[in-house]
Structure 1
Amino acid sequence: MSSNDCWRGCMSLGPWQVFLVLLIIMVLFGAGKLPQVMGDLGRGLKNLKRELKDGKLMSTEDEPHH
């Protein structure tokens, strides 16, 4: 088994992990702010995907070396 296979297997999210993360978010922010927090998270992910698609984010290989 390669380290990449272990990483993929160890980092997969199951239903219990998702439930636990949502529960922690609800405790931290309260149920009233949950829709706002999830909306902000969704907008952030959408912007990240769009910028990656457009190639606006520079990779570390493109950075000039000093």
Structure 2
Amino acid sequence: GYKGIGPEQGRWIPQNEALLYALSRCGVQLVDPLAPEAQEFCTMLEDWFFSGNFYRTEKEETVYD
């Protein structure tokens, strides 16, 4: 999953929800998810979206204030 930092601090996005979260936050709607280029686009979008204010982690981490 992805743990937020900076303005996304305290946010945890599970891996199985990451693509839908990124699509939603970017306002992108896939017209044809089975199109040949859709898989490549989705991989690229997820990598790009979570490269800023998130870091990847294998487990959910408790956030302490």
**Normalization by structure 2: what TM-score?**
0.29
Which has the larger share of helix? Answer: 1
Structure with bigger gyration radius:
1
Which has the larger share of strand? Answer: 2
Using CA pairs under 8 Å that are at least 6 residues apart, name the structure with larger relative contact order, 1 or 2. 2
